């Protein structure tokens, strides 16, 4: 079948189906619990009494903060009912004191209703780039902070890479085109919602929101080949998820190549290779309300 490049002009929606994705969000959260616990320890202050995970998804940060700050009020906020159901399910399973609340980063009134008093710490991980107006969303969050409160956002960094440039299946650069497809899906999602992309860096956006002491933290994961055990499982699950989510933005030839590489029963399955590695950078920014 001939390859098609660029956007496909049909009724495809770039928006995610959160109800369908909920089990994967939960599995990912459980696998990354230790990472978020470490991050929560870095961000939390023992004096914090009101903290929240904004655009929480499976609420990895909310549950980590509940561990680190057992006396604090911890709120997991999301616009998607499926994600809030998942939070409540996890809270019931773990006994964690995490409250679920529905609000969008694009709705300042709904956000304000979530908190009875100003917050000490707000975390927004990989959500603000989905906002209709990211700068306005940051402004809304900054307004929720108490003086001296902190806003931490997980934005930027690099997409994970696991494969050599050429794997012998399909054209060279297969994984680079997958990363580019993810960017085009995000662009398509923004076009559907009439969003305005942020035309400057997140550090400047935090300053424009009236926050100070802005600093950036980059965490490098550079696990060399060969991946094994949980590292290999995580790599395969990440590639499987992204190839499914971004399939519409890949050529037919690339989709066929990924199908071969991710077929556990096929001769080209990536899980049998010894040249997979993990290279990525996770970036977050922290700022303080004067």
**How do residues 140-165 score in pLDDT, each as one tens digit?**
999 999 999 999 999 999 999 999 99
Percent of the chain with pLDDT over 90: 83
- The mean pLDDT value for 80-90 works out to 93
Give pTM, 2 decimals: 0.89
- The mean pLDDT value for 233-260 works out to 96
DSSP code for 272:
G
DSSP code for 7:
-
59, 101 in Cβ contact below 8 A? no
DSSP of 69-137, one letter per residue?
-TTSEEEEEES-HHHHHHHHHHHHHH---EEEEE--TT-HHHHHHH-SS-EEEEEEES-GGGSSSHHHH
Per-residue pLDDT tens for 2-55?
333 344 445 566 555 656 766 777 777 677 889 999 999 999 999 999 999 999
Lowest mean pLDDT among 185-199, 222-236, 254-268: 185-199
Say how far apart CA 44 and CA 216 lie, in whole Å. Answer: 16
Q: How many residues does this entry show for the chain?
A: 290
Kind and range of the H or E run holding 161: strand 158-161
| 18-288 CATH | 3.40.50.150
Which ranges of the chain would DSSP assign to H, the alpha helix? 18-31, 33-43, 60-68, 81-94, 108-114, 134-143, 174-193, 202-208, 229-245, 252-261
How many CB atoms are located within 10 Å of the residue 181 CB? 21
């Amino acid at each position: 079948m001939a390859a098609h490049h660029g956007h496909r002009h049909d009724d495809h929606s770039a928006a995610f189906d959160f109800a369908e994705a909920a089990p994967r969000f939960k599995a990912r959260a459980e696998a990354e619990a230790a990472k978020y616990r470490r991050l929560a320890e870095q961000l939390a202050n023992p004096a914090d009494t009101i903290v929240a995970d904004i655009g929480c998804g499976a609420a990895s940060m909310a549950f980590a903060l509940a561990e680190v700050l057992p006396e604090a009020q911890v709120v997991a906020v999301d616009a998607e009912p499926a994600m809030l159901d998942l939070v409540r399910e996890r809270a019931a399973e773990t006994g964690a004191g995490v409250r679920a609340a529905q609000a969008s980063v694009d709705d300042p009134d709904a956000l304000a209703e979530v908190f009875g008093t100003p917050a000490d710490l707000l975390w927004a991980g990989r959500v603000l780039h989905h906002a209709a107006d990211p700068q306005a969303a940051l402004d809304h969050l900054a307004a929720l902070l108490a003086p001296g409160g902190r806003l931490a956002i997980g934005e930027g960094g690099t997409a994970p890479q696991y494969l050599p440039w050429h794997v012998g299946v399909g054209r060279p650069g297969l994984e680079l085109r997958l990363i580019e497809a993810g960017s085009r899906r995000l662009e398509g999602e923004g076009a559907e919602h009439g969003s305005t992309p942020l035309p400057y860096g997140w550090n400047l956006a935090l300053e424009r929101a009236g926050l100070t002491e802005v600093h950036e933290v980059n965490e490098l994961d550079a696990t060399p080949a060969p991946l094994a055990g949980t590292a290999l499982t995580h790599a395969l699950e990440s590639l499987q998820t992204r190839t499914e989510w971004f399939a519409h933005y890949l050529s037919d030839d690339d989709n066929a190549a990924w199908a071969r590489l991710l077929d556990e029963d096929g001769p080209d399955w990536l899980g049998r290779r010894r040249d997979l590695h993990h290279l990525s950078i996770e970036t977050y920014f922290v700022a303080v309300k004067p």
